[in-house]
Amino acid sequence: MGVFSGHWPSESELDKIRQKVAELSGRDAQEVRVVVSPYRICPLGAHIDHQGGTVSAMTINKGILLGFVPSNDTQVTLQSGQFNGEVRFRVDEVQVPKHMSETNGLTEQMDSSKTQEECKWGNYARGALYALQSRGNHLKTGITGFICGSEGLDSSGLSSSAAVGIAYLLAFESANGLVVCPTENIEYDRLIENEYLGLKNGILDQSAILLSSYGCLTCMNCKTINHKLIPSPKVQNNHEGELGNAYKILLAFSGLKQALTTNPGYNRRVAECQEAAKILLQASGNEEEEPVLSNVKPEIFEAHKSELEPSLAKRAEHYFSENERVLKGLEAWASGNLKEFGELITASGLSSIQNYECGCEPLIQLYEVLLKAPGVLGARFSGAGFRGCCLAFVDADRAEEAAIFVKDEYCKLQPELASHLDQGPAVLICDAGDSARVISNTFSLLNQ
């Protein structure tokens, strides 16, 4: 069970994936393009996006790599570093949403040579084609590609599904000479998740992956969908500026692969927030408004929170306090005040536990261990808080020391879960990342 850090993607990683694609396609390695699609973290803004709150996000220097070459025809051929099987389809095939094809009994009409495993991991590539087709793009060129995630990394809570979908979108667009802006690709990835796969998630993940910029926090108002980048003044004009060297991001893994069944579900929390909003809107004479907490003014909550059941009052308290923490955090970041920024992250984690009442015992223990680690500025869950990992911002000079401390202390508390981490790092030391992009040979083609 180790500690891992480093730059991403390294030249050796790029060379390895180029060589793999060259072998698959019979083409020269210099022809291979590589999509870099990073994972994201959400330092502040936990569990408020579904209520129209304001959230913050940034990418890290780990994620999805998709090496590919354009085909000489419409054929798509894909292999994966994590999954067995081979995905094969044509870009001139009409894609039907997965949940619709199953509902209408069309599953049997799909290529019978596909294994069950291929059906699962191939869906994002087919979904990307569906999204592009549904907006009038008629693709003529397929790809031969190889996709893999950062080695040994459990991506729970890091938005890996959005990173995969975006990787396929950028590859298809690159192969077909399509110029697509980031806001269009945010919509395309939403179509993959919401329409093709039938998932009920928002657009925070893909927005962070496509809009982030090194040294900046991406701020998004989930009610208006407006966003802005908040740079630190110390790194605006210098990629290796003071603040850029002042911190590292720790990802500490719990060993939990699935949510524990004893924990209340994500959907129930969303419903409780909506119920709280409905009662507060009725109390203020605004019952015609959509029942989400972003439609409730903070002063209305303060005036009427005594009318809420205790559990509903806690959910609303988390929303309003977290929204305020995001706004304060953006100010702290912009002024270079990492100490205050970290304290707000920790307070976010505590509110997630006490007011939103999410988190299982191992993750809460991991959160508490991180807060005791040397040099840690702040910590919270990454993701919903029922499995996966915790994130922390840490003084760069003490990152290695903190990582070792966390690994050792968590192992004492959860030896069985910690033993599950033998195949990957227990604690990952990361840097901030950049937006998703396509690398062709030695230069980047940013998806402007």
What is the DSSP secondary structure assignment for residue 126, as one 8-state letter? Answer: H
Q: pLDDT digit string (tens) for 13-37?
A: 999 999 999 999 999 999 999 999 9
What is the model's pTM? 0.85
The reported pLDDT for the residue numbered 16 is 95
Q: Which range, of 167-181, 229-243, 300-314, 356-370, averages the lowest pLDDT?
A: 229-243
What is the torsional sign of CA 261, 414, 369, 58? negative
The reported pLDDT for the residue numbered 2 is 53
Burial class, 293, CB count within 10 angstroms (exposed 0-12 / middle 13-18 / buried 19+)? buried
The answer to whether 3 and 427 are in contact (CB under 8 A) is: yes
What is the DSSP secondary structure assignment for residue 432, as one 8-state letter? Answer: B
The answer to whether 205 and 32 are in contact (CB under 8 A) is: no
Question: How many percent of the chain have pLDDT more than 70?
Answer: 84
Burial per residue of 399-432, b for 16 or more beta-carbon CB atoms within 10 angstroms, e otherwise: bbebbbbbbebbbeebeebbebbeebbbbbbbbb
Among the listed residues 374, 330, 368, 362, the one whose alpha carbon sits nearest the alpha carbon of residue 346:
368
The answer to whether 382 and 154 are in contact (CB under 8 A) is: no
Omega of the bond leading into 9 within 30 degrees of 0 (cis): yes
Q: pLDDT digit string (tens) for 151-207?
A: 766 666 677 889 999 999 999 999 999 999 998 999 999 999 889 988 767 788 898
The reported pLDDT for the residue numbered 234 is 64
What positions carry a catalytic annotation?
A: 205
Token pair in block for residue 170: 């950028």
Burial class, 306, CB count within 10 angstroms (exposed 0-12 / middle 13-18 / buried 19+)? exposed
Q: Does pLDDT of 4 surpass 80?
A: no
Confidence tier at 109 by pLDDT (50, 70, 90): very low
